[in-house]
């Protein structure tokens, strides 16, 4: 009997469907596996830095405690601010950790997530739905991303208050929660910029980077508060050298920047800074070009005259930074191939870079934006399309990744006679169904369609057993065709042939005929 539900697939149709599924899986693996493994390495590196920063912050707070015990009247104001800073920093840090854990629960399940408290071994790293669902929850009201944005804003305002606004511009940039604007002029929120369409593996790394920012800001602020105490006995007895990098992970072609500081220094003294026995200028800022990937360690010292006898005291330090290959996440929302004459939808992002700082180009296709997606439309008839993503880092456009996609023609649909919710592709059909003026000839891919392609029937012909052909424009029977069908006896064949349809690429195709029998 007719109808998609009642018509089993042919072996050839099953083979084609299986080939599409295998091809999709292979292409998805080629795009995501190496990139997601790279995020895992970056996350491990960030955790290494976090451990070091946490130890450094604890040492600074211990120093503050000693200063408070020695001179509580002089240091109480600054010590109380440091304790408030530590409390709010811990609250935001722990919220980010719970954020990652909740994503892990949604991705891998509670049992697996609870066995991995650091959230380092997620199995479903390539899942594109979990983060958006948790952070944005567009179908269930406000997501957790809004709450996270508010916490970032509160923390930023705390940092600005603690410095009496002296570093307002710096902290507004470091903890910016500004949204973005699409190429079409649509506004998107900060949480959409960070989390929309982001794979789980990339989201975990971004959240770890946020934790790193919190601890780095906390470290810098504690040192600032220490310098405000002006406790001379404390400075003399507790001098230590510290390295404060802007980031310990640098993209190839970028620049590593670190501030070398000596905590609680005497403002009348001028420290001398050295990296690998080479002197730096008086600012103590260390810059190095990053043209090779890997982890790089360096050592140095800060020299300062002693308050007792003027002899130089040397304070050693060491640190490291990681340089990674540029990378971008690309995934074709509908299929990992490019279709000719079709608006192919792509989700393209660069972790840690706002969408308005990302530029996407294509060789052999045009690129536009729509609803947060990139629309890739081929301009060539055959060959391959290469898509390239660039990001603006430190004022320079850096290529983050590119990918070649095979160009394929749009698949041809099948022809069916539509009657309500039933589709007939041949066989017996009631006479009244054929003659119902609301029923029509349609082009469809059936239940297993890989793409939502709209084909429009433009003409067809009806043929009876004697070979008489009657044409029709559009997708419904003409009065002449209806009159022919009314005269047919039960069991007589009636064939719908020479069916023409126009696809979304504007091309006309001829579909297979419909061999029907009047019942």
pLDDT at 45: 80
Do both 162 and 258 map to the same domain?
no
Does residue 497 surpass a pLDDT of 80?
yes
Closest CA to 321 of 213, 220, 249: 249
Do both 419 and 394 map to the same domain?
no
| Contact assessment for residue 31 and residue 330, using Cβ atoms and an 8 Å cutoff | yes
Residue 373 zone, left/alpha/beta (φ > 0; ψ -120 to 50; rest): beta
Q: CATH number for the domain including 315?
A: 2.60.40.1930
CB half-sphere exposure, 513, CA atoms < 13 A: 11
- What is the number of other CB atoms lying within 10 angstroms of the CB of residue 366? 12
Looking at every residue in the chain, the average pLDDT score rounds to 83
Highest mean pLDDT out of 35-44, 173-182, 260-269? 173-182
Q: State which of 408, 432, 463 marks the end of a domain.
A: 408
Do both 379 and 231 map to the same domain?
no
Q: State how far the Cα of 100 lies from the Cα of 40, in Å rounded to an integer.
A: 14
Does residue 266 surpass a pLDDT of 80?
no
Q: State how far the Cα of 360 lies from the Cα of 432, in Å rounded to an integer.
A: 55
Q: pLDDT-derived band of residue 31, with 50, 70 and 90 as boundaries?
A: very low
Do both 232 and 281 map to the same domain?
no
Higher pLDDT: 231 or 287? It is: 287
Q: State how far the Cα of 202 lies from the Cα of 278, in Å rounded to an integer.
A: 38
Do both 447 and 504 map to the same domain?
yes
Query: Which tokens sit at 100?
Result: 């990652």
- CA gyration radius for the chain? 33
- Give per-residue pLDDT as tens, 366-409: 999 998 899 999 999 889 999 999 988 877 888 888 899 999 88
pLDDT at 281: 87
Q: Which residues neighbour 381 within 8 Å (Cβ) at sequence distance 6 or greater?
A: 340, 407
pLDDT at 230: 60
Domain assignment of residue 366, given as a range: 329-408
Q: How far apart are the first and last CA of the chain?
A: 11
Do both 194 and 315 map to the same domain?
no
Do both 253 and 345 map to the same domain?
no
Q: pLDDT-derived band of residue 322, with 50, 70 and 90 as boundaries?
A: confident
| Contact assessment for residue 384 and residue 405, using Cβ atoms and an 8 Å cutoff | yes
Question: How are the residues of the chain apportioned to helix, strand and coil, as percentages rounded to the nearest 5?
Answer: 35, 30, 30
- What is the number of other CB atoms lying within 10 angstroms of the CB of residue 145? 23
Q: pLDDT above 70 covers what percent of the chain?
A: 82
Q: pLDDT above 90 covers what percent of the chain?
A: 37
pLDDT at 25: 45
Q: State which of 216, 237, 258 marks the end of a domain.
A: 237
Q: State which of 390, 408, 426 marks the end of a domain.
A: 408
Q: Which residues neighbour 179 within 8 Å (Cβ) at sequence distance 6 or greater?
A: 187, 188, 189, 190, 192, 193
- Please give the average per-residue pLDDT across 298-306, as a whole number: 85
Do both 204 and 247 map to the same domain?
no
Dihedral (C-alpha) 76, 78, 84, 89: value to the nearest 10 degrees?
-150
Does residue 1 surpass a pLDDT of 50?
no
User: How many domains does one find in the chain?
Assistant: 4
| Sheet with 384-393: strands ordered across | 338-339, 396-408, 384-393, 358-363
- Give per-residue pLDDT as tens, 445-472: 876 666 778 899 999 999 998 889 999 9
pLDDT at 122: 83
Do both 138 and 211 map to the same domain?
yes
Do both 216 and 353 map to the same domain?
no
Do both 304 and 342 map to the same domain?
no
* Residues pairing with 345 in the sheet: 375
pLDDT at 319: 86
Do both 152 and 233 map to the same domain?
yes
């Amino acid at each position: 009997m007719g109808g998609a539900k009642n018509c089993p697939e042919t072996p050839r149709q099953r083979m084609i469907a299986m080939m599409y599924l295998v091809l999709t899986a292979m292409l998805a693996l080629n795009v995501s596996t190496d990139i997601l493994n790279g995020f895992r390495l970056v996350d491990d590196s960030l955790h290494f830095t976090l451990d070091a920063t946490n130890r450094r912050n604890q040492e600074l707070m211990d120093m503050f405690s000693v200063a408070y015990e020695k001179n509580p009247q002089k240091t109480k104001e600054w010590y109380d601010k440091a304790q408030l800073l530590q409390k709010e920093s811990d609250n935001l840090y722990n919220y980010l950790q719970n954020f990652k854990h909740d994503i892990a629960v949604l991705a891998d399940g509670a049992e697996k997530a609870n066995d991995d408290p650091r959230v380092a071994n997620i199995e479903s790293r390539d899942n594109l739905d979990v983060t958006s669902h948790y952070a944005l929850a567009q179908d269930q009201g406000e997501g957790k991303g809004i709450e996270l944005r508010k916490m970032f804003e509160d923390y930023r305002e705390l940092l600005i208050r603690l410095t009496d606004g002296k570093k307002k511009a710096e902290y507004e940039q470091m903890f910016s929660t500004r949204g973005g604007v699409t190429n079409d002029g649509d506004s998107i929120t900060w949480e959409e910029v960070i989390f929309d369409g982001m794979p789980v593996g990339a989201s975990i790394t971004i959240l770890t980077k946020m934790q790193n920012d919190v601890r780095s800001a906390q470290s810098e602020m504690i040192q600032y508060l220490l310098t405000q105490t002006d406790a001379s006995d404390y400075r003399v007895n507790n001098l230590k050298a510290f390295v404060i990098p802007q980031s310990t992970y640098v993209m190839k072609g970028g620049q590593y920047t670190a501030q070398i500081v000596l905590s609680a220094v005497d403002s009348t003294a001028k420290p001398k800074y050295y990296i690998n026995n080479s002197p730096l200028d008086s600012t103590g800022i260390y810059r190095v070009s990053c043209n090779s990937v890997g982890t790089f360690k360096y050592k140095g010292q800060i020299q300062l005259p002693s308050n007792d006898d003027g002899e130089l005291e040397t304070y050693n330090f060491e640190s490291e930074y990681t340089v990674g290959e540029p990378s971008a996440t690309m995934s074709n929302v509908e299929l990992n191939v490019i279709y000719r004459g079709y608006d192919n939808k792509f989700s393209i992002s660069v972790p840690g870079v706002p969408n308005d700082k990302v530029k996407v180009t294509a060789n052999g296709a045009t690129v536009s934006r729509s609803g947060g997606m990139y629309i890739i439309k081929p301009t060539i008839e055959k060959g391959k399309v290469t898509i390239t993503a660039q990001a603006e880092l430190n004022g320079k456009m850096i290529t983050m990744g590119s990918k070649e996609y095979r160009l394929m023609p749009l698949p041809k649909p099948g022809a069916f006679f539509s009657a309500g919710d039933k589709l007939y592709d041949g066989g017996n059909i009631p006479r009244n169904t054929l003659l119902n003026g609301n029923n029509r000839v349609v082009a469809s891919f059936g239940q297993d369609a890989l793409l939502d392609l709209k084909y429009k029937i433009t003409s067809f012909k009806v043929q009876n057993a004697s070979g008489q052909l009657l044409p029709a424009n559009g997708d419904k029977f003409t009065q002449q065709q209806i009159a022919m069908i009314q005269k047919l006896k039960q069991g007589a064949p009636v064939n719908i042939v020479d069916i023409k349809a126009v696809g979304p690429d504007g091309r006309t195709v001829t579909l297979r005929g419909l061999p029907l029998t009047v019942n």
